Structure 1
Amino acid sequence: MRTHTGEKPFKCDQCDYAAAQKCQLDAHLTKHTGDKPYMCGECGFRTTAKRDLSRHMSTHTGYRPYTCDQCDYSAIRKSSLDRHLKKHTDENPYMCWECGHRAATRMGLTTHMRTHTGEKCYKCDQCDYSAPKKSRLDRHLAKHTGWKPYMCGECGYRTNRKDDMSIHMRTHTGERPYKCDQCDYSAARKCHLKTHLAKHAGQL
């Protein structure tokens, strides 16, 4: 009934936080204590919440259930897919004053601005590599670990990314899902179609 009444009897004794359920207060208190009881057996990642560990574990299994129906993107979380889908629509309210690039989120614009400033805040702890995005650093780190869980059953090609494997498999299936709307051209990769369309636009 507290969801209807708004009653929050469980108070934090260190800040103004209050919760309707004791388990919510217990989870909150770990922020003050720094206690992270949930640990990943693969890499040692620790977290305060069991659900966060479940999400983290999908980075090892490669399970990315939320897929974009317009490109090769896939995500672990629905919120990430929702954010990505805005790139395919006109919902990009944040504009770069340097080049006019538009982003769906403020964080997306902040990340984009690093292409102008040259800022690379994500540092590799094993070499001098640095990157403007965490996703690029994660991709780089796989080179150090050699972790490539995805293997092609046709030719033995291995990769650490599920979307790379999907693209690779098209070399065997011949699938070319990206179609030109001005001629008969089709491509296995979206970037190849973009290059082709630029020819129609007279940009190449």
Structure 2
Amino acid sequence: MGQRTGLAVVATVGLVAAWVGWGAYARRSVAVVPYTTVETVDGVEIRAYPASVVVETTAPTEDEAYARLERYRSGANEPRADVPMATPVSTHVGVREREGRVLAPIRVGGEAVASTVPVRSTTADDRVTVGITLPEGYTVERAPRPTNAEVTVRADPPRTLAVRPFSWWATDDRTESQEAALLSALDGTGLEQTGAPVLFRYDPPLTPPFLRQNEVAVAVDVPG
């Protein structure tokens, strides 16, 4: 019994180590949307993001929207290009986190087309809009054209975001608490909120909770 217990402990430690190692590798192997930190206010970063190209779709459910984008990334586009993914994934605050999504690059064949994140989603009238951001260098004209008419490509202008980081699983309660802290930190700063809060997630679903990197963010107007 003692030997069996010892072997079980060793096996468990090995599995945990592999889990942690995979989580760290998954984060390092995925690109991040570029930004410049302008200043930090009470634990909140004010970041300037450049113009970007977004591929998005609106569906009755978040899962259906993600499925369309997965098909786009896997070749449902012209010229049937692979579109691997990067971090962070972003959703509007209040949308429940769903496990089981593949956020790592998917390659099926054809020309490789990198993508960055955030993947953004918003809910309105019982429908969900989800979008992925393509990497630097892409324009609306150069982006692979979706073969599904419900998937569109559009340009996002440069924007400034106030961002508050946090770890562990991004549950509804934890996200709402972080959103409240973010908005509270902006009070009296002269930064005017210009959009709805969003949730950024940087990790694939199986990443250990203590390695997860999340952020709540909101678009702001910087005076001057």
Q: What TM-score range do you get, normalising by the shorter chain?
A: under 0.3
Greater fraction helix = 1
Higher relative contact order (CA 8 A, sep 6+): 2
Query: What is the TM-score when the length of structure 2 is the normalising length?
Result: 0.23
Larger Rg: 1
